[in-house]
Amino acid sequence: MPNTSPQFPTAQPTPSAGSPARPYPYPESQHPEGTPAPHPLLTPVLALLGTWYGQGAGQYPTLDEDFTYAQEVTFSHDGRPFLHYDARAYLLAPDGTPLRPSARESGWWRLQADGRVEALITQPTGVAEIAVGAVTQAPTTVDLTTDEVALTPTAKKVDATRRRYALADDGALTFTHDLAAVGQPLQHHLSATLHRRS
């Protein structure tokens, strides 16, 4: 009797010897009630979990003109006492049309028992920051200031940053970013208002 079983293409390549035969078994959650449960040290920042989206404005003395941008920020966790942080932005034309990708960052916020936060933030422009700060509540606010900056050989000079993420009474997340770079002192660079997307 001929074999009439349907033939389906292989969805994924066969794992090589020694490689896992199943997907990574520890998912990340963007919600306090998700799986895995958040570590108790994340309690002060649980209100930040999720994806946020909004618009902002930027300026700096070395730029020809001020600009507007859209930004998406996601905070998630895998049950351990740190947040995964991912942020990306794109520049906007005056009519709101996207122009091109702009800043992108990824990193980790390490929460400490006394409310301190240690953050590692990397950028594709060759900048890696270690920032330290604290989280306060009612409403949730995280202030981070640069402790160290590492640069690749071709990166623009960045000396320091200061960041604030604050939940407003209306539930929006405001973001401000001060920058000391390319010979300029620490000063205002970016501000944005973000709203929860998920």
38 Cβ contact list (under 8 Å, min separation 6): 29, 32, 46, 49, 77, 79
Q: What is the pLDDT of residue 16?
A: 57
Tens digits of per-residue pLDDT, 142-184?
Answer: 999 999 999 999 999 999 999 999 999 999 999 999 999 999 9
**CB environment 125-164: b (16+ within 10 A), e (fewer):** eebbbebbbebeeeebbbbbbbeebeeeeeeeebebbbbb
User: What is the per-residue pLDDT for 17?
Assistant: 58
What pLDDT score does 150 carry? 98
- pTM, rounded to two decimals: 0.86
- Tell me what pLDDT residue 113 has: 95
> Which residue type does 103 have?
A
pLDDT at position 5, please? 45
Q: Chunk the chain into consecutive blocks of 10 residues (it has 198) and report each block's average pLDDT, rounded to whole numbers.
A: 46 55 86 92 96 98 97 97 97 97 97 96 98 94 98 98 96 97 98 95
Residue 138: per-residue pLDDT: 84
